[in-house]
Amino acid sequence: MSYFGLNPRVLQSGLGAAHHGRISKIGRSHARAMLVEAAWAAAKAPGPLHAFFVRIRARRGHQIAAVAVARKLTVLCWHLLTKGEDYVWARPALVANKTRAIQAGHPQQKGSRRGPAYAYNIKALRDREMLIAAQAERSYERFVSQWKARRPKTGARAPQSGKTK
């Protein structure tokens, strides 16, 4: 988080309560800007990240929600890279189509065999993948709806050692 400056600033002195402020913005500003742009795109697509964006937007506003999704994307990318796994809610036909677009400069493969990106042209398959993404979004919403709000802590108190009444 701190590499991109997406970590919250914490103001704390002694035993007093910690105050969490805005993001630190100490880090790679260009990468942070790209992450926020990616967060806006992720917030528009159906899936768990969209549900997360909607939940945060209802409480804090759309700008803060976009930065929260950018932070979540950063954590998600870190976990995927360190564990060597694929994103569970990825849409395979869309990923294949984007991979094909990235390889546009490579020599063309000859033959009558269809490539993996052909599945993106089949509307039924695209609709099925969108349905799965919408299911993931509803699953996240159900998961979050079961959370119970806690009362805020009154603040850290110094230990009362040595005092007797």
Instruction: Report d(CA 27, CA 20) in Å as an integer.
Output: 18
Please name which of 85, 61, 71 lies closest in space to residue 39, comparing C-alpha atoms. 71
List C-alpha distances in Å: 138 to 13, 52, 109. 42, 11, 40
List C-alpha distances in Å: 49 to 25, 53, 56, 90, 134. 22, 6, 11, 12, 11
- According to the model, what pLDDT value does residue 92 have? 77
- According to the model, what pLDDT value does residue 95 have? 76
- According to the model, what pLDDT value does residue 129 have? 83
Please name which of 121, 132, 129 lies closest in space to residue 97, comparing C-alpha atoms. 121
* b/e per residue 67-79 (b: at least 16 CB within 10 A): bbbbbbbbeeeee
Task: Note the pTM of the prediction, 2 decimals.
Answer: 0.63
- According to the model, what pLDDT value does residue 165 have? 46
DSSP per-residue string spanning 114-156:
--GGGGGG-HHHHHHHHHHHHHHHHHHHHHHHT----PPP---
List C-alpha distances in Å: 10 to 24, 101, 106, 154. 9, 43, 48, 18
**HSE (side-chain half, CA atoms, 13 Å) at 109:** 8
Instruction: Report d(CA 21, CA 55) in Å as an integer.
Output: 20
Q: Mean pLDDT by 10-residue block, N- to C-terminus, for the chain (165 residues)? A: 75 77 78 90 88 91 92 90 84 76 68 68 81 85 79 58 50
